[in-house]
Structure 1
Amino acid sequence: MTDSTHPTGATPTHANRTLFQSLELDMRLLGMIGALVLIAIGFSIATGGNFLTPRNIFNLTVQTVSVAIMATGMVFVIVTRNIDLSVGALLAVCSAVIAMVQTQVLPGYFGLELGSPWIAPLAVLSGLVVGTFIGAFNGLLIGYQAIPAFIVTLGGFLVWRYAGWFLTEGQTIAPLDGTFILLGGAEGTLGEFWSWVVGILASLAAVWGVYSARRNRIKHDFPTKPLWAEYTIGGLFVAAIMGFVAILNAYDVPRGKLRRIFEERGEVLPDGFTQGHGLPISVLILIVVAIVMTIVARKTRLGRYIFATGGNPDAAELSGINTRLLTVKIFAIMGFLCGLSAIVAQARLQAHTTDIGTLDELRVIAAAVIGGTALAGGAGTIYGAILGALIMQSLTSGMGMVGVDSPLQNIVVGAVLVFAVWIDIVYRRKTGDV
């Protein structure tokens, strides 16, 4: 068998292929990237170049994280033909628990004041446990009591937000622990050096992924891309990763903040000294979540069961998959990610507010659907959901920068959601993937 290991880097079967056919790129992914590029260029022109400044890109990535984290979980929920309308409310009640643990429970019952090394870990743990427990409870009602997911989570939409309201008595809770606040990304970053280290490691991992995929294809005698196509894809990955790190490092820490940092160390800020923010810790958390969720989706039995159930629930159950227990697991994962998003959102705001997470359920669902998750079930990607969240946040931030009123922003986002679903339906009809 002759494949792309031919000395010329391409076989006769590749000779007449187009560039896109040779690269074997996902056209839906290209469409999302193209839409994001057009949005960025459009708002950059409208704002006189301010949209694509390092400062705004830094803020945009930090603001995207909490919705993107939940969107990765929503992929699993929608793939199995369910829906979760309670994620914003679940985020709110987790945030309330986290805030009360920091400011009331640990100081009042255990004598741990803000600044104690135990505050942040215990607060984080409380949010994750509460989110996972509530998510599993939703899954029990849906999977074992056969209550439609729409009804269970619609009830949760009301119950959990106001449970959080009563827990905090409707008050904004602040200040929070300084170490905990670092998780929001606005204050906590890796700095320039460690950001470059993470960028280099991520680039090496991307190149290894391309090489490993090619090796597996050759091992199993599957067709492979020409070598130049592999190099091109690997180069694009590296360029995107290192370019992103370079942009974040280009956003300098304000001199006033640098001066305070040097004064706390008993030093004087040198003239002309600058320091970039680098990669926010919250973005690093999102990257870890994306990697873990992608591995779960593609490499584990749980992931295979999720997509098999979404493709044909009856056949999945007849084949021995415990679809009811699977539903509990999926909603428990969703709850865990809501707790994690609550940590990031609260740390970014540096306070628990009564309106935290408002309308996030719509943003999360929209991000997953814009990212290519089929509402009919059985299809969806983690990277697509994250790109969808970034597109949503780019639209919202860009409209805010050009002075568009909030009601009109919601109108545009709603229209974009409907348009994205229509495009997805047309695409699936043309490709036969229905």
Structure 2
Amino acid sequence: MKIAMVGSGYVGLVSGACFADFGHDVVCIDKDASKIERLQVGIMPIYEPGLAELVATNVRSGRMSFSTDLAASIAGAQAIFIAVGTPSRRGDGHADLSYVYAVAHEIADNLTSPAVIVTKSTVPVGTGDEVERIIRERAPNVQFAVVSNPEFLREGAAIGDFKRPDRIVLGAEGEWERGVMSEVYRPLFLNKAPLLFTGRRSSELIKYAANAFLATKITFINEMADLCEKVGANVQDVARGIGLDNRIGSKFLHAGPGYGGSCFPKDTLALLKTAEDYASPVRIVEAVVRVNDSRKRAMGRKVIDAIAEAGVGDGRGQRIALLGLTFKPNTDDMRDAPSIAIVQALLDSGAQIVAYDPEGMEAAAPLMPEVTMAKNAYEAVTGADAVVLVTEWDAFRGIDLERVGRLVNNRVLVDLRNVYNPDEVRAAGWHYSSVGRK
């Protein structure tokens, strides 16, 4: 089957590479000529484990190609995916659908054969209706259908998520488009991946509801972590205790500095805007957004408090080393990363900051011009008055704390991801502070 993927960012590139690996013929399209030129020589625009190798394999096989020419690329395609960005709109938090609608117009003007138009982008309820209206108005004589197919890819594990999904959600209104989408995903269906067919509006809402629920779980355990610190409990024990209940589950119950990234922040805001538009408030999600925003900056204050408790200063004029900047490991994504608010809080306290991240420093540098970027973790901690673990990259889990202890000015370690064993760290002579643990 020929598939056209409009948009060669995170979702489009991962999805296109995986579809090609299933044996489909895939062309990834983007208006950014420089991005396409780099892709054609194997340079990825994002960091995702295994993606460069997967793309290279399928380009060599002839199943995957890249183009800036939408008209030529969609010719003869049975499925045309829209996988462009839908960032939060300034002012009201609603998803910016201008890129989606621009693609819909361009598809309509160049569609010459039957095709299913698939919205892979995360879009609010009713977007598929508008995409259908645009194409119907401009291409009334061509057979087409619009399907919603939200993505559920975790950054850092996207290829595995695509190839071994929990479910594949398909919002399709008619039998013809259901048949086409079943053929698109047939390789996964043979592996027993469940195809969940719904109405188009239900599919669009499933994506937002899923992300809002996961954001709620994260925010809930973070508030429990604060309570654990007050009462002398251990949030990791609490998380295990409730996570073993099958009705709750253990995933997304890891206390930390708050959620960030490309999905949860913008999708919760977009859901709030949809609820407002339909006069159906979602109060829980409102609280989640508010609590998460305040938590990120509170983590900066937590660092300053740890320095004060260690009796080595109040942060002013002190050198603080941050290990990790991206919102999670195995990505270079800095969108809404907790480190941004943490850095600002520390700068406001008069601290000097040096940081190291295995993949995110290029993206972080413009967001944090006052932060010194180090070449490695040991350079970052040299001369530091406090070390803060912000992102739990594997490279930081086995860091030599004895070596670090010889490099720092003061052995103050603030572990915002609960990576280290408190007894071992304290036995090594560190003043240790973590999240939700006494």
Q: TM-score category by the smaller chain?
A: under 0.3
Q: More relative contact order in 1 or in 2 (CA 8 Å, sep 6+)?
A: 1
Instruction: With the length of structure 1 as denominator, give the TM-score of the two structures.
Output: 0.24
Higher percent of residues as helix: 1
Higher percent of residues as strand: 2
